[in-house]
Amino acid sequence: MFKFFKKFSDKSFSIFLMILSGLSFVIMHSLAKYLSDEIHIFEITFLRCALVIFVLSPIIFKTGLKIFLTKQPRNQFFRILTNSIAMLSFFYGLTITPLSQVTALNLTVPIFTTILAFLLLGEKLKIRRILALLTGFVGTIIVLRPDLSFNLGGLLILFSSFIWSISLIFIKELTKTDSAVTISLYAGIGLVPATFLAAYPYLQMVTFEQFIIILIITITGTIAQTFLNIAFKRGELAILLPFEFLKLVWAILIGYTLFVESSPYSLLLGGFLIVVSSSYIAWRER
């Protein structure tokens, strides 16, 4: 299996991981939304962060304490701070907004992050990458049509997208010196204090079934974050970010089947543009 992946270049492999990361994020968000009818979303968020060290424990035991070593403690702190704000805003907005709309608003992240990467990291904005990014964004707007409404939930998701974009810049910097697992581990541990304070008034005992769902949320979230870190370590943000638009396709399919959310007729056209823009980037960089 590993020999198979060695055939791919760093760019191709990072694109593949970016797609898997996006799918894992959407699965995590879907399960959190599903469980939020029974448990407060802040408790789900807290338990998701608290269980990260348990999920990563096999790697910790194998690697030893050196997995906790970081060469950028300052950037780890700012990443945790921005991630805490973004996560709490996102998960609360998730409970009061349709899943497809949440994901669509969250897809402003590639726009924000591409601009920040250009301004702060000096990444080049090639015309083909910009066109692919804009094509994916247009596809998102077509899928949304006039259905997009800026209520409290929508504003929280948009705010969280901007803060998460800043966090992604810190993650990109961290990948220069720290391993993907170390970055994920610090995120999980670092997010515990803020999420615990938010969850404390709503804490309740969970059933075995609810715990299993929370554990799956933690596993998919950790996989999503770790794959994202590895992708960022191997590829440029300008190449990888257009693949964020594929999240909308996964979200609408899951939202339609799991939550019986209406699937807009414009999905075929918008989804087509999203897939075309992502495929073009993959083909071009390959």
Q: Using H for helix, E for strand and C for coil, what is the string for the chain?
A: CHHHHHCCCHHHHHHHHHHHHHHHHHHHHHHHHHHCCCCCHHHHHHHHHHCHHHHCHHHHHHHCHHHHCCCCHHHHHHHHHHHHHHHHHHHHHHHCCCHHHHHHHHCCHHHHHHHHHHHHHCCCCCHHHHHHHHHHHHHHHHHHHHHCCCCHHHHHHHHHHHHHHHHHHHHHHHCCCCCHHHHHHHHHHHHHHHHHHHHHHHCCCCCHHHHHHHHHHHHHHHHHHHHHHHHHHHCCHHHHHHHHHHHHHHHHHHHHHHCCCCCCCCHHHHHHHHHHHHHHHHHHHC
pLDDT at 134: 76
How do the domains of the chain map onto residue ranges? 9-285
Measured CA distances, 226 to 2, 17, 221, 286 (Å): 17, 9, 9, 23
Record the tokens describing residue 189, joined without a space. Answer: 């541990």
Return the half-sphere exposure (C-beta side, CA atoms, 13 A cut-off) of residue 22. Answer: 24
Q: Give the side-chain half-sphere CA count within 13 A for 49.
A: 25
Segments in the chain below pLDDT 70: 1-8, 99-100, 103-104, 125, 129, 136, 139-150, 255-286
Q: What per-residue confidence (pLDDT) applies to 96?
A: 81
- Give me the pLDDT at residue 243, please: 79
pLDDT score at 271 = 60
Q: Do residues 106 and 139 make contact, with C-beta atoms less than 8 angstroms apart? A: no
What's the rounded Cα separation, in Å, for the pair 255 and 26? Answer: 10
- State which amino acid sits at residue 37: D
Give the pLDDT score at 209: 94
